[in-house]
Amino acid sequence: MDIKKILVVIEPDAEQQPALAKARTVASSAGAELELLLADFNPFLEDGFYFDPPQARKLRYEHGEKRLSELESLAEPLRSEGLKVSASTAWGNPPHKELVSRIGDFAPDLVIASTRHHNKVARLFLANEDWELVRYCPAPLLLVKGKVDSRATAVIAAVDPNHAHDKPAALDHKIIGAARAMATLSDASVHLFHSAWVPPLSGVYPLVVNQEEESEKLFGLADRHEIAHDNCHSSNEQITESLPELVAELKAGIVVMGAVSRSRFDRVLIGNTAEKLLDHLESDVLVIKPDEMPALSQYLL
């Protein structure tokens, strides 16, 4: 994971920009260039909603110029620090489709976006843009919550040595590689985490997991990446409980995990592990996709 180009998703009209603050730190450490991108949409400015097409086009242009000016005001302090920063805006409904399209055009090594707590209805219907980015962003996606302890000294790679849950075997190695890269930037230690929890049979009878066997599998993965066994953690508790507990214990700043893109037809089903955990973790989350990503054109239609 060689970070040379970072795309930062700027939140429209937000007083705080946690993603930009994180991008500044990462770019300074990695020597990377930044692209600030703001995507939004207002139906009032569409042709024929309130204005005839010529007026609507003029107002959209003025709106875009205002947004670009806002981005330039965010970029100037970073440029004064020696960072290379560009800025662009996008317009579309829904905005996240424009984000994904621009990410494909810019081909960044890392995308950084802010995320916030979501209510149960939003989680069920995946109405929030960060859910869509988790599913369709083709580049590594760092979701920033802005709550990370400044003393954070650990990066956790959430892996699955059993290769369950639809994940390709090679994805674990990508996750660990990304964790090592992020840890190097912040002089942090790398830890591996594996949840061996198995749902009760028929929802009633708990299944017994061989914890020693699961630990050995995790140690084998750690050995391939020269990670100490003391930095390996496995649990037979539900991951939504055990992983947040480990984050708090280690004061971890980032959790790195994989996510497999799903089709638009099953998007209303229960989300993958990354989606389930977003609201449970206080740390930032780096989402890594497998190499065999579906073509973006299938999503952007």
- For 227-258, the pLDDT digits (tens) are 999 999 988 888 888 999 999 999 999 999 98
Q: What is the mean pLDDT of residues 270-293?
A: 75
121 in a structural domain = no
Q: Which residues contact 82 (CB under 8 A, 6 or more apart)?
A: none
* Chosen domain end from 91, 114, 137: 114
Residue 191, token pair as written in the block: 């830890």
Q: Higher-confidence residue: 148 or 6?
A: 6
- 16 and 110 together in one domain: yes
- 162 and 294 together in one domain: yes
Res. 137 pLDDT band, cuts 50 70 90: confident
125 in a structural domain = no
| pLDDT greater than 80 at residue 296 | no
The CATH number given to whatever domain includes residue 98 is 3.40.50.620
- 227 and 155 together in one domain: yes
| pLDDT greater than 60 at residue 299 | no
* Chosen domain end from 97, 114, 131: 114
Question: In 167-192, which positions are buried (b, 16+ CB within 10 angstroms) versus exposed (e)?
Answer: beeebbebbbebbbbbbebeebebbb
- 166 and 100 together in one domain: no
Q: Which H/E stretch holds residue 35?
A: strand 33-40
275 in a structural domain = yes
pLDDT of residue 192: 96
Res. 169 pLDDT band, cuts 50 70 90: low
User: pTM for the full model?
Assistant: 0.86
pLDDT of residue 15: 83
| pLDDT greater than 70 at residue 210 | no
Domain count, the chain: 2
171 in a structural domain = yes
271 in a structural domain = yes
Residue 264, token pair as written in the block: 């638009």
- 216 and 272 together in one domain: yes
- Cα of 241 vs its chain's centroid, Å: 20
Q: Higher-confidence residue: 67 or 119?
A: 67
When the pLDDT of each residue in the chain is averaged and rounded to a whole number, the result is 81
- 178 and 64 together in one domain: no
- 246 and 178 together in one domain: yes
Res. 149 pLDDT band, cuts 50 70 90: low
Highest mean pLDDT pick, 138-147, 161-170, 259-268 = 138-147
- 18 and 106 together in one domain: yes
User: Of 295, 26, 18, 9, which is closest to residue 178 (Cα–Cα)?
Assistant: 26
Distance CA 186, CA 66 (A): 35
8 Å CB contact between 254 and 155: yes
**Phi first, then psi: what are they for 37, rounded to 5°?**
-130, 125
User: Of 135, 195, 190, which is closest to residue 160 (Cα–Cα)?
Assistant: 195
**Phi first, then psi: what are they for 233, rounded to 5°?**
-135, 125
- 180 and 294 together in one domain: yes
- 158 and 92 together in one domain: no
* Chosen domain end from 65, 94, 114: 114
The CATH number given to whatever domain includes residue 160 is 3.40.50.12370
Distance CA 102, CA 87 (A): 12
Q: Higher-confidence residue: 9 or 293?
A: 9
| pLDDT greater than 80 at residue 129 | no
- 210 and 77 together in one domain: no
- 253 and 108 together in one domain: no
The range of the structural domain enclosing residue 71 comes to 1-114
135 in a structural domain = no
123 in a structural domain = no
In a 10 Å sphere around its CB, with 0-12 CB exposed, 13-18 middle and 19+ buried, how is residue 227 labelled?
buried
Q: Which H/E stretch holds residue 193?
A: strand 189-195
Distance CA 30, CA 21 (A): 14
Q: Higher-confidence residue: 204 or 170?
A: 170
